[in-house]
Structure 1
Amino acid sequence: MGTALTILDLNSVVLALVLGLTFLVLFEIMRLHVSKGRTPPGPRPLPFLGTIDSIKDPLGSARSMHQYGEMTTVYIGRQPVIVLNTLQITREALVQDASAFSGRPTLPVIDWITNGLGIILVSGHSWKQQRRFALHTLRNFGLGKKSLQERVIEEGHYLVDEMLKEEGTAFDPQHVIQNAVSNIICSIVFGDRFEYDNKHFAYLLKILNENFMLAGSLLGQIFNMVPFIKHFPGPHQKIIQNANELLGFIRGEVKEHRQTLDPENPRDFIDAYLLEMEKQKSNEDSTFHEENMLMSTADLFLAGTDTTATTIRWGLIFLMENPEVQERCHEEIVQVLGYDRLPSMDDRDKLPYTCATVHEIQRCANIVPFSVLHATTQPTKLRGYDIPKGMMIATNLTRILSDEKHWKSPDTFNPENFLDENGHFYKPEAFIVFSVGSRACLGETLAKTELFVFITSLLQRLHFSWPPNSQRPDMDGIVGLVRFPQPFRTICLSRDTKV
């Protein structure tokens, strides 16, 4: 009798679980049906899992989204995301209605790392205070001025010399490029640069790159759907371990700055932030405190390192795949600068083909396929749709940067996309790799300077080619928070300097 009751109880539990799960699935299907009726069309999501194709193959998904119209709705787990597929509707939302579209969404994996602090991924009052201060401080320490350009020019010279140490041998250029780019933002934020053989700094750059991949990978997407897994062991714990190591490095820099701070002569961003914290002590509305300093510094360090370095790495791939472009750039550079005069931003007008090539590298690299996610800060309307507060908004840069309406050769690497009929450089309005509106890239000026000076310096002095019998990397790359090229090796040779 007891055994029969136990079996009956067990059957009842199983039946209750099955009915409960069935009810949850049916409820979710109904919720999705109602939600889809209120949002722009898009691929059919699965209950709880969302739009699987956009997770499994984000680049392929981005390329096909325009079939649904100017706006597409996809789902990250249970969360709808409205994707803007055209330049016109992107400007309509992010520029014309900037205040309503200037927020950032709450993503569990990002919140886990940032605790809702910093500059890039926050919204509202804190973002306004931190961004205003960062822009003002970066300008004070050279952003947009000759002094900073001189640092970039000097670092470009160091980068060429460092690559020449590997002349004639196949090597992975990731570290030297990342170190060179990072040295510029480090000189502003920390007041110093780091040598290419500094093993501790090389390790920090490695885990920085790793976190960009992990946070945007399938692992990061799973975390966003079931964030309570942060309390359990697993590969996702590597994300927070890496973030803590980076913050530990910054804490060490802050401690050193505190001990040597001269209030009359701030040396860099950290000094300026320490002084601002003191100044804002009595302001109850202030967002300037120790933890925000650490995360804002980390934001500048991360954003000023990885995106530009990744673009240059893609650039080497495109130049090796298109040797005729590489040769034409080199000939133009040597004709204007010779082999010895280092390039500067003042040379852009005299180097139209090279300038066009740098921009074409950015277009084809497409390192942030959906741009940085936005969120609505208030209820608004867009093309007849009622958009609630908190809706996630993505810009389909993959489509906009390859839209045949705006580009002569949308699907191939061709610098002619940025040249007019007279061979002069021009920039199509669809070139919005730094985004548009109030949340456009904070470091756009710096990134433009680094990309032009570094790439021109490399093409002036070096020739790049694939190692014999090397396997070409998949041109879709690896999509995380940033679209990275797969690891590759290159052979660089010094150009003959006899003119």
Structure 2
Amino acid sequence: MEFSAILALLVTLLITLHFIISWWRQHRRYKSLPPGPTPLPFLGTPKYMDFRYTVINLTKLSQKYGSMFTIWKLTEPVVVLCGYEAVRDALLNHAEVFSARPIIPTLQTPNKGYGISGQRWRPLRRFTIASLRNVGMGKKTIESRVQEETVYLNQAAAETEGKPFNPLLIMASAVGNIISSVLFGEHFEYKDPKLHELMSYTSRHVKNLTSALHMLCNVFPFLLKLPLLPKIAFKENSYLENFVRVYINEHKRTLNPEAPRDLIDYFLLKIKEVEHEKDPDFCDYSMMAATVGLLAAGSETTANTLKFCLILLAHYPDVQAKVQQEIDEVTQSLHLPRLENRPQLPYTNAVIHEMQRVLDLAPVPLFHAVAKDIEFRGYTLPKGTIILPFLTSVLNDPSQWETPEQFNPGHFLDEQGQFRNRVAFMPFSAGKRICAGENLARMELFLLLSAMLQKFTLKLPPGTERRDAKWLNANKHDIISDAQLCAVPRALPTK
């Protein structure tokens, strides 16, 4: 045998031995983790890391292994938390330890680690939430913006003349306009092609986060160094960045430090304040990352939730009629429902919460990681261990919900028929990483849905079979993208 062949064989054996030793050491380090399916050497448990089948796979594993188990991303363990008690214990009782994030290459690469989900997340998140409050989040100013948008929304629904239509576009337009006004002070006509293109790229950007290509790049980050691949992987993100950059440049030109108008203005002022610092957390990268992230998260998920709620109400006409009766009694048809009316609309509020619970739009949030070694519920989790809270298991935990598989607004009503909060209601996750736009999303759901139900009765198109909540949830992605309904104008009661 030639020397070169012997050398090649020796190198191959050494590389193989290196991988075997690395794998063995990795498993020794994590020997105190919860049990789970046996991983394949170097491959982990690829079946259970396929997030297209998250709910089915993780539900089956929880039935076998309980509230904590381990799956593997190649040689890296992922500890899954199931059920209200385990998720609450981690995200609330040990909030600081479980608030870290692992490096997610497809989130880090476009914004160079400056995003709210990156390593600089604490100051950026704190500043972003404070700035959102400054522009009126949770205050009358934002409420008035949302109520203005309900007028455009109802007008768009009226133009359908009671005929079948897909409500996703008008709901996305309404939500897109609201978040645009908060971020950069823009409002679009519902038929504006610019708005339609923006919503299309936003939707595709969010879907890409769980695409096969992004999952592959997260597992093998070196792929992002290949020519052209980043351009393909981040096409939608690049479009959104270019879209936002136009507004940033215009805001730089017209900024008035005495009267900031929106989130971009507050970012520009903060960047100016810290420009003398070495490697500041606030710069053009962080402003772009935060704005694009909020634009995507603040429109796609809320629009999808709104459409699902409309479709679900069309399948439950008795529930819809009861909501409309309550709205009529409170508003007397004299004004649109307001946030101050929410305590007077307990059934309406309960229905909206229950629809979110049934929808379960985000079964798992972005990965968490433990910030330091911790003894947790009988297991030792080394620093950096990836954590996956399975929110579906919380929203359907039989120890917390009387009829978890049914659509039951009574889950959120007490014996007197008044609204009651439920600790296991976590559609926005919980703890230090809870969705930054939660308050805006809650406001939009209440005001937009109640305004539309005040003016219209939602009906299924002729020939459409009425379905129960379990079927609707199982088919939610098809429903959100394709299902149609009819918005029939109501004859409003007079005082």
Q: TM-score, normalised by structure 2?
A: 0.90
Amino acid aligned to 1:132: R
Specify the alignment match of 1:205 in structure 2.
199
Amino acid aligned to 2:69: T
Instruction: Go from structure 1 to structure 2 and tell me whether the alpha carbon gap of 1:21 and 1:284 turns closer, same or farther (over 3 Å shift).
Output: closer
Specify the alignment match of 2:62 in structure 1.
66
Specify the alignment match of 2:324 in structure 1.
330
CA shift for structure 1 position 136:
1.8
Matched, 1:108 2:105: yes
Q: The residue matched to 1:475 in structure 2 has which SS?
A: helix
How far apart are the structure 2 equivalents of 1:103 and 1:19?
38
CA shift for structure 1 position 190:
0.2
Amino acid aligned to 1:122: G
Instruction: Go from structure 1 to structure 2 and tell me whether the alpha carbon gap of 1:177 and 1:297 turns closer, same or farther (over 3 Å shift).
Output: same
Match of 2:242 among 222, 245, 248: 248
| Count of paired positions | 487
Specify the alignment match of 2:277 in structure 1.
283
Instruction: Go from structure 1 to structure 2 and tell me whether the alpha carbon gap of 1:159 and 1:50 turns closer, same or farther (over 3 Å shift).
Output: farther
Matched, 1:493 2:488: yes
1:123-151 alpha-carbon deviations (Å, 9 max, x no partner): 3xx22221222122111110111111111
How far apart are the structure 1 equivalents of 2:232 and 2:173?
23
The two structures, once aligned, show a CA RMSD in angstroms of 2.8
Instruction: Go from structure 1 to structure 2 and tell me whether the alpha carbon gap of 1:227 and 1:466 turns closer, same or farther (over 3 Å shift).
Output: farther
Q: The residue matched to 2:69 in structure 1 has which SS?
A: strand
Amino acid aligned to 1:403: D
How far apart are the structure 1 equivalents of 2:276 and 2:16?
56
CA shift for structure 1 position 167:
2.6
Say if 2:179 and 2:295, in contact at 8 Å, map to a contact too: yes
How far apart are the structure 2 equivalents of 1:154 and 1:130?
30
How far apart are the structure 1 equivalents of 2:460 and 2:19?
52
How far apart are the structure 1 equivalents of 2:68 and 2:231?
35
Matched, 1:311 2:305: yes
Instruction: Go from structure 1 to structure 2 and tell me whether the alpha carbon gap of 1:359 and 1:282 turns closer, same or farther (over 3 Å shift).
Output: same
Matched, 1:46 2:44: no
Amino acid aligned to 2:451: S
Instruction: Go from structure 1 to structure 2 and tell me whether the alpha carbon gap of 1:289 and 1:36 turns closer, same or farther (over 3 Å shift).
Output: closer
Match of 1:137 among 131, 147, 150: 131
Matched, 1:421 2:415: yes
Q: The residue matched to 1:369 in structure 2 has which SS?
A: coil
1:180-211 alpha-carbon deviations (Å, 9 max, x no partner): 11222211210222221121121111111112
CA shift for structure 1 position 238:
3.8
Matched, 1:361 2:359: no
Specify the alignment match of 2:96 in structure 1.
99
Say if 1:332 and 1:353, in contact at 8 Å, map to a contact too: yes
Q: TM-score, normalised by structure 1?
A: 0.89
Say if 1:215 and 1:239, in contact at 8 Å, map to a contact too: no
Specify the alignment match of 2:114 in structure 1.
117
Specify the alignment match of 2:473 in structure 1.
475
Q: The residue matched to 1:38 in structure 2 has which SS?
A: coil
How far apart are the structure 2 equivalents of 1:170 and 1:408?
35
CA shift for structure 1 position 359:
0.2
1:182-261 → structure 2 map (5 Å cutoff): 182-232=176-226, 237-261=231-255
Amino acid aligned to 2:89: E
Instruction: Go from structure 1 to structure 2 and tell me whether the alpha carbon gap of 1:474 and 1:236 turns closer, same or farther (over 3 Å shift).
Output: farther
Say if 1:475 and 1:485, in contact at 8 Å, map to a contact too: no
1:253-284 alpha-carbon deviations (Å, 9 max, x no partner): 01111111112211111111111111112233
Say if 1:28 and 1:47, in contact at 8 Å, map to a contact too: no
Amino acid aligned to 1:153: Q
Say if 1:59 and 1:476, in contact at 8 Å, map to a contact too: no
How far apart are the structure 2 equivalents of 1:386 and 1:355?
41
Specify the alignment match of 2:425 in structure 1.
431
Say if 1:318 and 1:413, in contact at 8 Å, map to a contact too: no
1:384-408 alpha-carbon deviations (Å, 9 max, x no partner): 3222222111211101100111111
Instruction: Go from structure 1 to structure 2 and tell me whether the alpha carbon gap of 1:32 and 1:390 turns closer, same or farther (over 3 Å shift).
Output: closer
How far apart are the structure 2 equivalents of 1:216 and 1:50?
19
Q: The residue matched to 1:381 in structure 2 has which SS?
A: strand
How far apart are the structure 2 equivalents of 1:333 and 1:105?
46
How far apart are the structure 2 equivalents of 1:34 and 1:486?
46
Percent identity between matched residues is: 35
Matched, 1:299 2:293: yes
